[in-house]
Amino acid sequence: MHHPTTMQKNDHPFDTDTRVEAIADGSFAATISDRWTALGGVVNGGYLLAACLQALRQMMPFPDPLVVSAFFLRPGTPGPAEVHTELARKGRRSATGQARLLQDGAETARVMATFTELRQSEGRTLLLSDRPDLPPPWEAVDPMAGRSLPGVTMTEMVEFRMARLPGWWHGRPGGDPSTEFWMRFKQHRDADLFSLALLVDAAAPAVLDIGVPASSTIELTVHLRAHPAPGWLACRARTRHVLGGYHEEDFEIWDTTGTLVAQSRQLALLPASR
């Protein structure tokens, strides 16, 4: 069957840029692309995490990442990389492994992840918070319409729709680092669990609304809760506690059926003010 408006899943930049190739037992070659840079031109951490998950996927006896934690040790650089994986434990219903992303022999990121088969989870379901309250995407504002941010190549890959533009966007930070918006890949690729691990880190940091220029991620934990339905994703990002520059950012992604599909928290650091 022919899908004229839908790019084949594995031709999308997300798929080509996170593709890994086995080079030895548990080791994979990857190529870090320059198409996923964030504020300051740095390679996005969620993208590095997604590449590590694609390597772990090759050796895991279960298909779905469930919980992943990434420590970012050095800035990623566009160019060749290796991912060294290790299976730490294989159980009946889940397995846990580790991936180390190496560039020029130095470790860029270390990822631990538990995989399972989400569709076989049989326990109770109870959602006690509301999904983001947003106008339909086609009635919402595209913050990037006709614009681009120098060095921020991710805005060519991911698009957003908002009820209104955040204050910091106009140079008037409102002081409340808490936002809701729609998000999806450009070029017609629906999200899956692996790309959700990138998307939780794909928006501008919520703390920009307290008047800071940037935020750098130290650690990112992502819970993958359900396979997302096709289409737009409703997101909520929030920072409540900044101490000595360190702050958490909580992020939720809900699909259009009203299911929480991913939930993440990162610990990040404001740039030194001088």
User: What residues have CB less than 8 Å from 105, skipping those under 6 apart?
Assistant: none
User: Bridge partners of 65?
Assistant: 115
Using the minimum distance from each CB to its own copies, give the nearer residue, 5 or 129.
129
Q: Answer yes or no whether residue 12 interacts with its own copies by CB under 8 A.
A: no
Three-state DSSP class for 223? strand
Using the minimum distance from each CB to its own copies, give the nearer residue, 128 or 145.
128
The amino acid present at 27, given as its one-letter code, is S
Q: Answer yes or no whether residue 246 interacts with its own copies by CB under 8 A.
A: yes
Q: Answer yes or no whether residue 87 interacts with its own copies by CB under 8 A.
A: no
Binds its own copies by CB under 8 A, chosen from 11, 21, 34, 107: 107
CA 201, CA 128: separation in Å to the nearest integer?
24
Binds its own copies by CB under 8 A, chosen from 114, 153, 179, 195: 114
Between residue 174 and residue 233, which ones bind its own copies under the rule CB under 8 A? 176-177, 210, 212, 218-219, 221, 223, 225-226
Length of the chain: 274
Burial 234-256 (b: 16+ CB within 10 A, else e): bbbbebeebeeeebebbbbbbbb
User: Near its own copies by CB under 8 A, which window of 5-13, 41-49, 89-97, 227-235?
Assistant: 89-97
Q: Answer yes or no whether residue 272 interacts with its own copies by CB under 8 A.
A: yes
Distance (Å) of CA 82 to CA 56, 67, 199, 220, 240: 12, 22, 22, 20, 36
Distance (Å) of CA 188 to CA 62, 68, 81, 191: 27, 26, 27, 10
CA 215, CA 200: separation in Å to the nearest integer?
15
Residue pair 99/113 in contact by the 8 Å Cβ criterion: yes
CA 185, CA 177: separation in Å to the nearest integer?
24
CB of 223 to its own copies, least distance (A): 5
Using the minimum distance from each CB to its own copies, give the nearer residue, 170 or 274.
274
Between residue 252 and residue 271, which ones bind its own copies under the rule CB under 8 A? 259-260, 263, 265, 267, 269-270
Using the minimum distance from each CB to its own copies, give the nearer residue, 160 or 251.
251
User: Near its own copies by CB under 8 A, which window of 51-59, 93-101, 149-157, 179-187?
Assistant: 93-101
Between residue 119 and residue 158, which ones bind its own copies under the rule CB under 8 A? 121-129
Q: Answer yes or no whether residue 21 interacts with its own copies by CB under 8 A.
A: no
Strands 106-116 and 64-72: antiparallel
CA 262, CA 228: separation in Å to the nearest integer?
9
The amino acid present at 179, given as its one-letter code, is T
Between residue 26 and residue 85, which ones bind its own copies under the rule CB under 8 A? 66-67, 69, 71, 73-74
Residues forming the site for its own copies (CB under 8 A): 66-67, 69, 71, 73-74, 88-89, 94, 96, 98, 107, 110, 112, 114, 118, 121-129, 176-177, 210, 212, 218-219, 221, 223, 225-226, 239-246, 248, 259-260, 263, 265, 267, 269-270, 272-273
